[in-house]
Amino acid sequence: MARVFSGIQPSGELHLGNLLGALVNWVDHQKSHDAVYCIVDLHALTLPKDPEDLRSSSLELAQLLIAVGLDPDKSILFMQSHVPEHPQLAWLMECTVSFGELNRMTAFKDKSGRNEFISGGLFTYPALQAADILLYDTDLVPVGDDQRQHIEITRDIAERFNSRFGDTFVVPEHVIPPAGARIMDLQYPEKKMSKSEASPAGTINVLESQESINKKIKRAVTDSDGEVRFDVDEKPGISNLLSILAASTSSTPEDTALSYSRYGDLKNDTAEAVIELLRPIQERFRELKSDPAETNRLMQLGSSKAQEIASVTLERAKNNIGLLKP
């Protein structure tokens, strides 16, 4: 069974776009792959963070991922900082990647241009990301085209290390994940749904109240011609509602459109479907939130499983590069 690795930062609340666009695929991968999922809290340190915010957002993300359907008995779910092999291998990766390769990373250029303080970690984080992936003998990394550069540099690092020091790492393949629903902002349907701070009225968080979901969907931007059809270019607002309703009910936007002639009915049913989709997730999240010790137990279980794999890979890399055993 092929091993798949995915990571997610504890930054901001999960929203409907995260759920329907990516996390449903993570849940499905548990059935068909040897799945490893990591909350990359060390990556979050590349930008300034309030310590208490980081702690609470990391715990909340773990609870949400379990509530969404990641099963610690079917996959490995763990906190990056709980497995010390990650920063240890990252140093070997930093010594294998070149300054020029790091300097060409578009994500660094984008983030460094938007922040007053630019940490060294922001520049070298592709080395840590490579360590994240390579520690687990990962076969497949499912990411969109916008993340392709990160996988390419990981492959380059692995191939260079293997060439210099002998067969050490599995060279992972970049795969386009199954097409999840492309969920757009409810107020600006030409833009992808993003964090609620950027567009409070256009974003539905996974923990949103029923009242708020109703209000936001009923106020969603549409158009004035009154025809319900799936046409992203000509009718982005209506198409977005159809995408949300279809993804929430395991249908297609085109088939869903055939059932509607009025915008109001479409909005009502979309709101109801989203509420029903999120209800069991919110209930499970509340259970976990009321018992943080259970979340910690599950995360420790995941960390132990992750470390069993990671420690073997790290020792192999240290031995091959010439570090003396203690």
Catalytic positions, written as ranges = 111, 192, 195
Number of helices followed by number of strands (H, E) in the chain? 14, 5
Instruction: Give strand pairing partners of 78.
Output: 38
User: HSE (CB half, 13 Å, CA atoms) of 277?
Assistant: 23
Residue 23 CA from chain centroid, whole number: 7
Find out whether 133 and 147 touch, Cβ atoms under 8 Å: no
Closest CA to 192 of 243, 231, 142: 243
Q: What is the CA radius of gyration of the chain?
A: 21
Backbone φ and ψ of 184, nearest 5°: -105, 170
- Name the helix (H) or strand (E) containing 88: helix 85-94
Q: Cα–Cα distance between 6 and 51 in angstroms, integer?
A: 24
- Name the helix (H) or strand (E) containing 42: helix 41-44
- Name the helix (H) or strand (E) containing 301: helix 292-321
C-alpha dihedral sign at 54, 51, 203, 287: positive
Tell me 15's DSSP state: B
Find out whether 41 and 81 touch, Cβ atoms under 8 Å: yes
